[in-house]
Amino acid sequence: MSHPNRLRQAISAGGTTPLIGVFDMFSASVAARHYDGMFISGFGFAASHYGLPDIGFIAWPDITAFVQRLRLAFPRQHLLVDIDDGYVDPETACHVVQSLEAIGASGVVLEDQKRPRRCGHVDGKQVLPLEEYLEKLDMVLAARRELIVVARTDATEEGEILRRAKALAATDADVVLVDGVRSIEWIHKVRRIIGDKPLLFNQIAGGKSPRLSLSELSELGVDVAIYSTPCLFAAQTAIDRALTKLREADGRLPQTGPDTVGVAECLALLEKNISRHHEHVPS
């Protein structure tokens, strides 16, 4: 079964499918020990690859090269890729979608933001005219073969959120995402207006949306949950704490133990990225 259809099957199986945001190969290596699916987050990739906020700096060749490395190391993981606005024009969006499908991505998320774009959970977002976005979305849908396409709106005004959600649900997009939804009440509203179309919910620590468990999301009719930044924020916290302790210890490294990582533990994690690929090669 193709990568897109494997994710499509997971989404239709019932419950809420979790996809964990990763920002580099190492965070993906750790995430793969716990979850079957990854979300290639624009927030995380902009931070790790450029050291910049997620406001439109990502170049499409960089994101496709990253996804190619991920697929080689993780042959069975779901890979959902944030492609922002498709990197401005519809022709580029179509080329990116075809490139990502060719290298094994499971799906993409295409948003309706204007440039300069913003993270979906911060203020200052502006959206394209709906007709302009729908034209781009239709071109992307025509360009893909099996790739899952998530249609995302970043509208913030209540009436416009519902208008756009209904319009996105009427397209051939596989899933609808209203980013930055602020309450359970609004999840209910979006769920009702999109009918039977699968619904995706984006969770980010410190963001605008409520903190909900997978069982709670499933009860709300959410089919997919993306966790954009748990790896990135955990890395920032852990690195800062480790270096603070190193400075306080006058540069003496801590002893390794059951709750710490040393050379052997790190190598075991990385070597799995070789053996995992070989496990699925026919003998």
Residue 139 confidence (pLDDT) above 90: yes
Task: Find the CATH number of the domain harbouring 185.
Answer: 3.20.20.60
Residue 280 confidence (pLDDT) above 60: no
Residue owning tokens 């992307």: 140
pLDDT single digits (tens) 50-81: 999 998 899 999 999 999 999 999 999 999 99
Is 237 part of any domain? yes
Rounded distance between C-alpha atoms, residue 183 and residue 156, angstroms: 13
Instruction: Provide the domain count of the chain.
Output: 1
End-to-end Cα spacing for the chain: 19
Is 30 part of any domain? yes
The domain of 90 spans 3-251
Q: Work out whether the CA dihedral 136, 138, 140, 142 comes out positive or negative.
A: negative
Residue 281 confidence (pLDDT) above 60: no
Percent of the chain past pLDDT 70, that is, above it, reads 95
Closest CA to 202 of 46, 39, 67: 39
Give yes or no for a cis peptide into 230 (omega within 30° of 0): no
Looking at residue 275, its pLDDT comes to 73
Looking at residue 282, its pLDDT comes to 43
Q: pTM for the complete prediction?
A: 0.93
- When pLDDT is cut at 50, 70 and 90, the band that residue 120 belongs to is low
Looking at residue 277, its pLDDT comes to 62
Q: What is the mean predicted confidence (pLDDT) over 33-57?
A: 95
Is 270 part of any domain? no
Lowest mean pLDDT among 84-88, 121-125, 216-220: 121-125
Percent of the chain past pLDDT 90, that is, above it, reads 82
Is 278 part of any domain? no
Is 266 part of any domain? no
Rounded distance between C-alpha atoms, residue 113 and residue 136, angstroms: 12
- Number of neighbours of residue 148 by Cβ within 10 angstroms: 24
* Neighbouring residues of 51: CB distance < 8 A, sequence distance ≥ 6: none
Is 208 part of any domain? yes
Is 263 part of any domain? no
Is 164 part of any domain? yes
- When pLDDT is cut at 50, 70 and 90, the band that residue 208 belongs to is confident
Residue 116 confidence (pLDDT) above 80: no
Rounded distance between C-alpha atoms, residue 137 and residue 240, angstroms: 41
Strands 224-227 and 199-203: parallel
More confident residue, 276 or 104: 104
58-65 contact pairs (CB < 8 A, 24+): 58/84, 58/87, 59/87, 60/87, 60/92, 60/95, 60/96, 60/99, 63/96, 64/96, 64/99, 64/100, 64/103
